[in-house]
Structure 1
Amino acid sequence: MGPGKWKGRRSALIAGSVAAAGALALATVPSWASGGGRQEPASLTAAETQVRTATPIQHVVVLFDENISFDHYFGTYPNAANTDGTKFTAKRHTPRVDGLTKKLLKDNPNQYDPKRLTHEQALTCDQDHGYGSEQKAVNGGKMNQFVEHTEKDKCTGQPVLFGEPGLVMDYYDGNTVTAMWNYAQNYALSDNSWDSVFGPSSPGAVNLISGQTHGIYAVDPKTHQKVSDSYVVQSPDQNGVGTMINDPDPAFDDCSGSNHTSKNNLGVMTGRNIGDLLNEKKVTWGWFQGGFRPTGTANGYAVCGATHPNIGGVNAVDYSPHHEPFQYYKSTANEKHLPPSSVAAIGRTDQANHQYDLSDFDAALEAHNLPAVSFLKAPEYQDGHAGYSDPLDEQQFVVNTINKLQKSPEWKSTAVVIAYDDSDGWYDHKAPRILNGSADAAQDSTLCGKAKVAGGYQDRCGPSQRLPLLVISPFAKVNHVDHRYTEQTSVLKFIEDNWGVGRIGDASFDQRAGSLGGMFDFHRPRAGRLILDPKTGAPVSG
């Protein structure tokens, strides 16, 4: 598809008017159509011709990883120490990021200065990333209380994990997160992308697919009868419906509660998500997660028992139910973890209901049946979450996935988005500008109380901290650092507008989210393929 065909779209797609792009998808014939009927480019596959899009992007693949702040991975980009790990040398004229300055590295307002973690220190303690703890670390925007409120510098019972006083301040560079830095060199990186709210994994995952963490209620794990539970639901109304700020497991999942061996209550989300909107427009989609395929059954429930060791030799269970946001919603859940009825059915509504194992993504890609929208979640040992995963295991998942996509014919119309669910509480120096407030005296700081409360729903304070965001695509800007404001729900908004499915509604953050348009070049795309070594993150071909 020639880049000139998208020239007339440039102002809407690149100047930041995502709303205009969404309207364009609904009201305007795409630029590849002409005359009285629609004419598809000969290069497009049958799967790509089903639904009109507002951009050349026919496939979005979201790699949704875990628990990284921007400074933790990109604080010194593009300058690496080159004392260990994989050597990294930046291209000439690489743009700098809003990162860790010399003053922040040597005279930081926190108790400890940030310290570089070596390639051999990839396995670290997990930090505290609670909704309230992260607010305390931000300390009204002073960004100087991370050691007191989010640091965990000792890893009890896990001798392979590295910990030290001041650990929460520490960061990696391109000698460890080499693939991420190489992707940034060749595609687009944002240094102004944010976690939509304070807090841990599940709120981040739910914001990715709906922009709305309000609407949850608690149920008994066996009977599904509504119960009261302050861990599952914060600020409940008279019907027990409130906001998610923690990591309860989803109600519509046999593997929740340690394969239903736990007595912990589960969560049900009400309202709509992007899966509902895509279904209404008959757009193919799926969530693909490591370990989703059951390893057996017990007491009438499917059991998710697959495990893998990380680089330290410590086994982690592949599947984490609270990382699978669509399982909180009855409309989009695959409670029994049923497989797709066929490879051809992947992305379409059948017994799997759009929820799949990662192996199903590979099967769909190999069969040239890639859904229009795919969300990929690595097995736990490769998802980047400190405590059981690490940047080196994460790199293998990310690189292997992108290599396969770049070698496929679908690559010419694909955009890969690498995004994260939360910061893990790792230090980032940039103070947030709170766009949505909350006045829950038990949880919220005074900083949150100063902003409006969208929909009247408490405990959705944010954005909180910067997270890495990369766009890898033939249409991505090359060696570009985008400084325009985005957040987790910007990914949701791009999907909504590219396929013209509308908005979530009910005070979803998709309304406020910034555009990903600044990370694309639809006028003169120049990005080529970049095949990396999964172990080193270094290029193996251009």
Structure 2
Amino acid sequence: MDTGIGRRGRRTRRLLGAGALASAAVLAIATGSAATSADAQQLRPRPASWLPTLTPIKHVVVIFGENISFDHYFGTYPDATNENGTPFQPAKNTPKVNGLDRQLLTDNPNAYNPKRLGPDQALTCDQNHSYGAEQAAFNGGAMDKFVEKTETDKCTGQPVLFGEPGLVMDYYDGNTVTGMWNYAQHYALSDNSFNTVFGPSTPGAINLISGQTHGMQAVDPVSHEPVSDPSVTQSPDAEGVGTVINDPDPAWDDCSDNNHTASDNLGAMHGRNVGDLLNQRHVTWGWFQGGFRPTGTDGDYAVCGQQHANVGEQSSVDYSPHHEPFQYYQSTANPHHLPPSSVQAIGQTDRANHQYDVSDFDDSLQAGSMPAVSFLKAPEYQDGHAGYSDPLDEQQFVAGQINKIQQSPEWSSTAVVLAYDDSDGWYDHASPAIVNGSRDASQDQEICTGKPVGHDGYADRCGYGPRLPLLVVSPYSKVNYVDHTRTDQTSVLKFIEDNWFAGRIGDSSFDARAGGLWNMFGFVRPQAGKLRLDPKSGAVASAGQH
């Protein structure tokens, strides 16, 4: 049931109580517009608990992981083999998901059948997850060309990584991704959520915050003057503005282009994002990413050099610029990675401009001033991206952060959303509904070219793409619940927009057509208790009352 704002009056009164919302806010949500300038003058940055919201949720924390398809983590949920790794026993009456049934496991239409990966195979080769390759793997919706089109089964020069023919088909169960399965057991999981478009990290991250991958312009890395570069933007118009389908580094970031030591052109986005909408409503917010804090300077540029090693003792730089979507927009960028002016200023507009290190989120949480909206991005070694990260390191980050949030006073009004930027090309059997086609002869495959292009006419925005995991962890989550509502990355954006009466992005953003997260919640009263997990094993350390 995607209510969105449907049955507005009755639902708002039931969720919030009569008189809880100002008339200007009700008007904003009813019309899809932001506050008027007169209203805005009455609003000042203030504690998140004071701001009017559509639901009892006063804090949203989005933990945005990397490169996982639904079947790769949840294909056999809730059944684990328990042959190695952390034991997992599902609760009675755990609902089934649209996963890997017996036929898909033993007589798959692809060249190989899916196989279980154990915790000793947590580090694997990175798969091909480009815009065109993923479409080709879908083979018009037959979902049977993953081995030929997206598989990378050999990891050249990286002997610690596991790879073998058929790897792209393989999956983990609750003996490895134990923490994720335990969150699904105690909170709400979606088995019908999709990448907004096909392709890699940058389009996925930009869709999370704006729902619009058109608007990218290639610029010179020093002067920021527009240049022509098809590796940055696809199908550009006369002014060089097109659609992003790959992973250029952001224009407004000193640490882009390997700390400006290379000469690749960068990407600058035009248009609005959710940060602009939240600023108009004077809602505190921030993007918090591992490694964002500089380790030094090189001339006029900040340097992001912090590194960590994963469970296989592979080291990588923590900060990945193309995983930071707000740095593509000049309005919301912090090019020099300046720190916040104080802990109390985190979430407000100051020199940091809402872009922070993960440690700043921890500081705000400890100080009792967590922003209303927070996006958390793990350092590379913990973000789950195959090739340099893994599910075990990812689990340490996710469980560690949620444990801290649940121990804070803000937990009682918080919703943590676990979402992903793309599928990495990993196999998933669910053929998506193509709600927006594209007819770029150089990029698009049959699955996209045969569908209507949106009325905006923008090319290279074909979606929905692959199915991805999506979980909601909150006192207001439904418990041990699997939601079948069709959603996508912009459903998270839409929930934030609606909850804080921020309006819509516009310009044919996918937020206008996104399914809602409403079925994953029960707002009449809190129903889910706290769940503390062992970050290393993912096992339940304690479960209690909300």
> Offset of 1:453 from its aligned partner?
1.8
Aligned to 2:298: 298
1:25 and 1:54 in contact (8 A); partners too: no
Aligned to 2:511: 510
Aligned to 2:480: 479
1:22 and 1:54 in contact (8 A); partners too: no
SS in 1 for 2:490: helix
1: CA distance between counterparts of 2:319 and 2:353? 18
Aligned to 1:132: 132
1:249 and 1:321 in contact (8 A); partners too: yes
1:23 and 1:500 in contact (8 A); partners too: no
Task: Give the counterpart letter for 1:242 in structure 2.
Answer: G
> Offset of 1:29 from its aligned partner?
10
2:138 and 2:447 in contact (8 A); partners too: no
SS in 1 for 2:5: helix
Aligned to 1:17: 3
User: Is residue 116 from structure 1 mapped to residue 102 from structure 2 by the alignment?
Assistant: no
> Offset of 1:34 from its aligned partner?
6.8
Q: Aligned ranges for residues 19-98 of structure 1 at < 5 Å? A: 19-20=5-6, 30-31=16-17, 33=19, 47-98=47-98
**RMSD (CA atoms):** 1.8
> Offset of 1:381 from its aligned partner?
0.1
1:177 and 1:395 in contact (8 A); partners too: yes
> Offset of 1:202 from its aligned partner?
0.3
Gaps of 5+ in 2: 24-45
Change (3 A) 1:234 1:35: closer
1: CA distance between counterparts of 2:271 and 2:453? 18
Change (3 A) 1:463 1:297: same
Task: Give the counterpart letter for 1:413 in structure 2.
Answer: S
Change (3 A) 1:344 1:100: same
Task: Give the counterpart letter for 1:501 in structure 2.
Answer: A
Q: Determine what percentage of the aligned residue pairs are the same residue.
A: 68
Gaps of 5+ in 1: 1-14, 38-45
1:327 and 1:333 in contact (8 A); partners too: yes
Change (3 A) 1:501 1:34: closer
User: Is residue 333 from structure 1 mapped to residue 319 from structure 2 by the alignment?
Assistant: no
Aligned to 2:398: 398
1: CA distance between counterparts of 2:278 and 2:148? 43
Aligned to 1:317: 317
Aligned to 1:4: none
User: Is residue 104 from structure 1 mapped to residue 90 from structure 2 by the alignment?
Assistant: no
Q: Aligned ranges for residues 187-202 of structure 1 at < 5 Å? A: 187-202=187-202
2: CA distance between counterparts of 1:110 and 1:410? 47
Change (3 A) 1:269 1:27: farther
> Offset of 1:451 from its aligned partner?
2.1
SS in 2 for 1:183: helix
Task: Give the counterpart letter for 1:290 in structure 2.
Answer: G
2:15 and 2:523 in contact (8 A); partners too: no
Name the TM-score, length of structure 2 as normaliser. Answer: 0.93
Task: Give the counterpart letter for 1:469 in structure 2.
Answer: L
2: CA distance between counterparts of 1:401 and 1:22? 34
> Offset of 1:30 from its aligned partner?
4.0
User: Is residue 287 from structure 1 mapped to residue 278 from structure 2 by the alignment?
Assistant: no
SS in 2 for 1:415: strand
Name the TM-score, length of structure 1 as normaliser. Answer: 0.94
Change (3 A) 1:102 1:426: same
> Offset of 1:225 from its aligned partner?
1.2
SS in 1 for 2:215: strand
2: CA distance between counterparts of 1:230 and 1:24? 50
> Offset of 1:79 from its aligned partner?
0.2
> Offset of 1:19 from its aligned partner?
2.9
Change (3 A) 1:341 1:228: same
Aligned to 1:384: 384
Of 385-394 and 518-527, deviating more is: 518-527
> Offset of 1:24 from its aligned partner?
8.7
Q: Deviations over 1:154-210 (max 9, x none)?
A: 001111000000000000000000000000000000000000000000000000000
1: CA distance between counterparts of 2:174 and 2:21? 51
Change (3 A) 1:508 1:35: closer
2: CA distance between counterparts of 1:154 and 1:82? 28
2:308 and 2:315 in contact (8 A); partners too: yes
2:21 and 2:53 in contact (8 A); partners too: no
Of 392-401 and 221-230, deviating more is: 221-230
1:129 and 1:150 in contact (8 A); partners too: yes
> Offset of 1:51 from its aligned partner?
1.6
Q: Aligned ranges for residues 220-299 of structure 1 at < 5 Å? A: 220-299=220-299
1:22 and 1:498 in contact (8 A); partners too: no
